[in-house]
Amino acid sequence: MYIMIPERNFGRLQRHPFMVTWVSDSNRRGKLLHFLVECRKGFSKDVCHAGKVSVILEGPYRESQDLNGYDKVLFMAHRIRIASHLLAISYLLQRHENQKA
């Protein structure tokens, strides 16, 4: 998903791609989306040190893959790229726990 942070010095027109790593229920409404951010420089560094901020989200832009038909699934990643697999891993673990996978 693309994240924009309209407040502070982030700029209204900057948007940067990030992966949703986890989804959980919110106490108030809807779902909470969790993002794993590797603090480097520029925008990601600003995000890491921003604290609680309001964001504008765009996306998602790709379909999720259906993993239910496989006996075994292998995920490979290096460093921050594990973020692209965490949602699918969470889904498979929940299905396994409920004895549906």
44/39 Cα distance (integer angstroms): 5
Number of structural domains (the chain) is 1
Whether the model pTM is above 0.85:
no
Residue 65's domain spans which residues?
A: 2-97
The single-letter code of the amino acid at 15 is R
Is 80 a residue whose pLDDT tops 80? no
pLDDT, tens digit, 9 for 90 and up, residues 38-66 = 888 888 887 788 777 777 888 877 666 77
35/21 Cα distance (integer angstroms): 5
H or E element: which one contains 34?
Answer: strand 31-35
CA angle 94, 2, 39 (to 5 degrees): 80
